[in-house]
Structure formats: C-alpha cells, structure tokens
Amino acid sequence: MATNTTEVKAIARYIRMSPFKVRRVLDQIRGRSYREALIILEFMPYRACKPVLTLIRSAAANAEHNAGLDRTQLVITQAYADQGPVLKRFQPRAQGRAYQIRKPTCHITVAVAAGDTAE
C-alpha cells in the first residue's frame, strides 16, 4: 500500500434504501478503477446502482476539483454503507389491528484515490 496517497470522499446520506441491498452493489466496485466501476454500475440490474453511480461521479468531481487528481487515474479505495434512521409506518389490518412497516435508510460513503493504471 502506498503511504503518500490522497483519498477523497463523497457521502450520500439518508438514502431510502436498505444498507444490505446497497452493500451488494458496493462489493462489486470496491478496488476497481473509476472507469471500470462506471461500466459495471451502468449494466447491473439493481435499483441501488443509481445512487451509487451518482456518488462515484461526485467523488471523482471532488478529487478533480479539490485535490487536482485526474479522473482516469482514480481507483475506488473505500465503499461502504452504514445504516441510517429507520422510518416507522403503520399498515391498517383486519379487526382494528395495525402492522408496523419499517422503511430503512442508509448512508453511503465512497472514497477514491489516485492509483496505478499500468494495464
């Protein structure tokens, strides 16, 4: 591992999606190059791909604007989803009962750094 790398983060908070479903997508792109991750996310059939795709683009823009890094050299170093607050709703049921519905949210974090793209 390089000791002198600049890591740039982007965080999406309160995404109305289960963190388990988002992690399934993040596991596929962790450690890959920026361009490769964009291609993978474009063709995966999951709903979680859309917020992750916008977040990766945001992280790349942050790296380019704030740290002066080149987008073509970026590698996704960290990608994780933490659980956010759970929205609690109630569904009316028979005989005056109510079932609780839990609507989970999550916070997604993606970090990119300049990597070696000698392929």
For the chain, 119 residues long, give each residue's pLDDT as a single digit of tens: 445 578 999 999 999 999 999 999 999 999 999 999 999 999 999 999 999 999 999 999 999 999 899 999 999 999 999 999 999 999 999 999 999 999 999 999 999 999 865 44
Euclidean distance between CA atoms 74 and 31, whole angstroms? 10
- Residue 34 domain flag: yes
CATH code, domain carrying 15 = 3.90.470.10
> Which pTM was predicted?
0.87
- Residue 2 domain flag: no
Report residue 44 as tokens: 């995966």
- Residue 119 domain flag: no
Amino acid at 34: Y
- Residue 86 domain flag: yes
- Residue 32 domain flag: yes
- Residue 19 domain flag: yes
Euclidean distance between CA atoms 41 and 29, whole angstroms? 8
- Residue 81 domain flag: yes
- Residue 1 domain flag: no
Structurally, the chain folds into a number of domains equal to 1
Q: Which domain holds residue 11?
A: 7-114
Q: Which residues pair with 102 in a beta bridge?
A: 88
